[in-house]
């Protein structure tokens, strides 16, 4: 792949659009939390740091970092978890809808498209099941253990089910009251994410359907055990799409996305982590001298 085919303008615009999508994610968090006291700058910094952690850790396990660090903004782990579930619910709804519409209106046959549909629909069904049924099931379990003899195991089950019931109720309250506005923000987020692919790979003259499908495949590749910056998973996404359209060389362009988008995201996240470390170190040194 000749890296000279990527213009400086398209690289910087792609990076800008990527980070702009994360600023809209911050805006969505503010809407979901409805707490006017949250410092937007601090939340934006933590969002960028959390994104870097997610890009370094496979299976989206970096979400656990977001759950922990966002507690200081949302006041409790249950609220943080509820907002995180709401985010994922909105994202999966939109990804599934985009994938369905793109496949419905396209005349290009792709063998693995059906598998992608199964994956996204399965994720959506799991989240919908949690949304509508899990709290009732947990309530039944909670009442059963409340009637049993008190011991450490029973108390643990009672505390766990009580916490999870609270999370699910919070999630329902959040989504019920803010579904329309948050869906609109989510649409903007994913339009920006897809535009990154249009900007970076415009010189390849790929169809709109292929660009959209490629972006969704890259998103779903985060569920695989990939290396840092999505290395491996992104290559698989590009390879499958390229193979389906008879453009097997497409996989070679995947490294540009690894480097220019995810690589820069990890770099900036790391700079924020270093900055936070030195600020805390300076504060500790100042306190020790007093």
Query: Which pLDDT score is estimated for 221?
Result: 80
Q: Is the pLDDT of residue 234 over 70?
A: yes
Q: pTM score, two decimals?
A: 0.84
- Cα 169 to the center of its chain, rounded Å: 22
Query: Which pLDDT score is estimated for 94?
Result: 87
Q: Concatenated DSSP letters for 146-195?
A: HTSPP-HHHHHHHHHHHHHHHHHHHHHHHHHHHHHHHHHHHHHHHHHHHH
pLDDT (average), residues 112-116? 68
Q: Measured between alpha carbons, how far is 21 from 64 in angstroms, rounded to an integer?
A: 21
Residue 238: count other Cβ atoms within 10 Å of its Cβ: 27
pLDDT (average), residues 240-245? 86
Percent of the chain with pLDDT over 70: 90
107 or 175, higher pLDDT? 175
Q: Max alpha carbon distance in the chain (Å)?
A: 72
Query: Which pLDDT score is estimated for 1?
Result: 46
Q: Is the pLDDT of residue 189 over 90?
A: yes
pLDDT (average), residues 269-288? 81
- Cα 103 to the center of its chain, rounded Å: 22
pLDDT (average), residues 220-231? 76
Percent of the chain with pLDDT over 90: 28
Q: How confident is the model at residue 178 (pLDDT cuts 50, 70, 90)?
A: confident
Chain-wide mean pLDDT for the chain? Answer: 83
147 or 196, higher pLDDT? 196
Q: Is the pLDDT of residue 182 over 80?
A: yes
Query: Which pLDDT score is estimated for 80?
Result: 84
Q: How confident is the model at residue 113 (pLDDT cuts 50, 70, 90)?
A: low
Query: How confident is the model over 22-77, as pLDDT tens digits?
Result: 999 999 999 988 777 888 999 999 999 999 998 888 766 777 888 888 888 888 78
* Least confident piece of the model among 130-134, 187-191, 199-203, 264-268: 130-134
Q: Measured between alpha carbons, how far is 161 from 120 in angstroms, rounded to an integer?
A: 28
Q: Is the pLDDT of residue 3 over 60?
A: no
> Cα 45–50–51 angle (5° rounding)?
100
Query: Which pLDDT score is estimated for 27?
Result: 94
Q: Is the pLDDT of residue 263 over 80?
A: yes
């Amino acid at each position: 792949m000749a890296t000279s085919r990527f213009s400086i303008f398209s690289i910087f615009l792609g990076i800008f659009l990527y980070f702009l999508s994360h600023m809209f994610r911050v805006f969505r968090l503010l809407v979901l939390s409805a707490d006017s006291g949250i410092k937007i700058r601090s939340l934006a910094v933590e969002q960028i740091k959390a994104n870097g952690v997610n890009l370094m850790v496979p299976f989206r396990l970096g979400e656990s970092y977001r759950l922990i660090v966002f507690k200081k903004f949302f006041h409790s782990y249950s609220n943080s978890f509820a907002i995180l579930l709401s985010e994922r619910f909105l994202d999966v709804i939109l990804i599934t809808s985009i994938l369905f519409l793109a496949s419905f209106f396209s005349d290009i046959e792709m063998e693995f498209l059906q598998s992608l549909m199964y994956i996204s629909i399965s994720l959506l069904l799991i989240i919908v099941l949690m949304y509508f049924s899990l709290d009732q099931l947990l309530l039944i379990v909670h009442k059963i253990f409340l009637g049993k003899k008190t011991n450490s195991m029973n108390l643990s089950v009672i505390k766990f089910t009580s916490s999870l019931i609270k999370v699910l109720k919070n999630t329902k309250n959040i989504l019920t009251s803010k579904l329309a506005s948050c869906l609109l923000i989510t649409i903007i987020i994913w339009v920006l994410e897809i535009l990154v692919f249009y900007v970076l790979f415009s010189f390849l003259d790929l169809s709109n359907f292929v660009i959209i499908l490629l972006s969704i495949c890259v998103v779903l590749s985060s569920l695989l055990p990939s290396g840092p910056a999505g290395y491996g998973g992104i290559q698989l996404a590009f390879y499958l799409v390229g193979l389906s359209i008879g453009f097997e060389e497409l996989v070679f362009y995947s490294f540009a996305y690894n480097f220019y988008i995810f690589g820069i995201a990890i770099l900036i996240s790391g700079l924020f982590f270093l900055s936070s470390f030195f600020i805390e170190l300076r504060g500790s040194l100042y306190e020790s001298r007093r």
